[in-house]
Amino acid sequence: MTTLQDTVRPRARPREWKAIIILILLVPVLWSPLILFRYVLFQPFNIPSGSMAPTLVVGDYVFAAKYAYGYGRYSFPFTPSFISGRVGAADPAYGDIVVFRSPKDNEIDYVKRVAGLPGDRIQMRHGQLFLNDIQVTRVALKDVAAGSACGGDTGTRVKRWRETMPNGVSYITYDCVDNGYADNTELYTVPPGHFFALGDNRDNSTDSRFKSVMGFVPMDNLIGKVTRIFWSLDAEGELRAERLGKVQ
């Protein structure tokens, strides 16, 4: 015969209740390092386009150091729109790869390189970058297969240049087309509190050269500095181990 006692779930013993309470109390403790890492120190991002090729390519996953330039409106999710300025503010340096929100579209994260700081004069002349009327040093490298970086036939070749900023930061740029649509620009003067963003894939990057879609970027729109590729997958989903490591 089934009794009432048979149909009632037995009560937890005092020792079991203690274990449950301890587990509940430990949840914030266990999660706090992850929260600290994700929202305060480093934020992961994936690269969806080839605008920063060859430095960053589609399939790369990077960490951005959020503390590098201070904390502002876009440092944390759900921050009210009336928040302005940055706590612990620091300006980026020439050549830094930064994550930011565009002043024209503050819902999308962008990754570009800092090419100009407040007061600088920036211009592209025949595909060459000029900073304050002085050509930024560049050295021609061997052409390589373009892959998908130039948006056309993957068998085509792309010109490469090693560019070196005045502070010594050096990196490689792609030049897909001679005298492309953004190889010759007007002279830009970076206003106070802003920076000039430029993609390493010069003929396939939406950046500060295009006023209608980006223009100068406010320092307050900075999210962090890209420091490391921690994961990278090719089109077949295979790990590209050779790409893992620090980024410059």
pLDDT tens, position by position, 73-83: 888 766 666 66
**pLDDT of 248:** 78
User: Do 139 and 221 meet the contact criterion of CB atoms below 8 Å apart?
Assistant: no
- Here the tokens at position 204 are 């396939």
Annotated catalytic residue, options 49, 51, 75, 205: 51
Q: Is the pLDDT of residue 10 over 50?
A: no
**pLDDT of 133:** 96
Confidence band, pLDDT 50/70/90 cuts, at residue 164: very high
Q: Is the pLDDT of residue 146 over 90?
A: no
**pLDDT of 68:** 92
**pLDDT of 153:** 66
- Here the tokens at position 218 are 């406010």
Q: Is the pLDDT of residue 227 over 70?
A: yes
Mean of the per-residue pLDDT values of the chain:
85
- Its CATH class, for the domain covering 39-246, is mainly beta
User: Do 52 and 200 meet the contact criterion of CB atoms below 8 Å apart?
Assistant: yes
> Where would I find the beta strands (DSSP E) of 2-136?
42-46, 60-65, 97-102, 105-116, 121-125, 128-131, 134-135
Mean pLDDT, rounded, for 3-12: 43
Q: Is the pLDDT of residue 43 over 80?
A: yes
Confidence band, pLDDT 50/70/90 cuts, at residue 235: confident
Q: Is the pLDDT of residue 32 over 60?
A: no
Mean pLDDT, rounded, for 104-125: 95
- 130 forms beta bridges with 123, 135
Spatial distance between the Cα atoms of 177 and 172, rounded to a whole number of angstroms: 16
| DSSP one-letter code for 5 | H
Tell which residue, 40, 42, 43, has the closest CA to residue 87: 40
Q: Is the pLDDT of residue 23 over 60?
A: no
Q: Where are the domains of the chain?
A: 39-246
Strands 170-175 and 157-164: antiparallel
Whether 75 sits among the annotated catalytic residues: the reply is no
**pLDDT of 181:** 82
Whether 81 sits among the annotated catalytic residues: the reply is no
Q: Is the pLDDT of residue 54 over 80?
A: yes
CA 20 vs CA 15, 26, 30, 43, 87: distances in Å: 9, 10, 15, 32, 39
Mean pLDDT, rounded, for 26-31: 51
Q: What angle do CA 20, 25, 29 make, to 5 degrees?
A: 135
Annotated catalytic residue, options 75, 102, 112, 232: 112
Q: Is the pLDDT of residue 8 over 50?
A: no
Mean pLDDT, rounded, for 88-109: 92
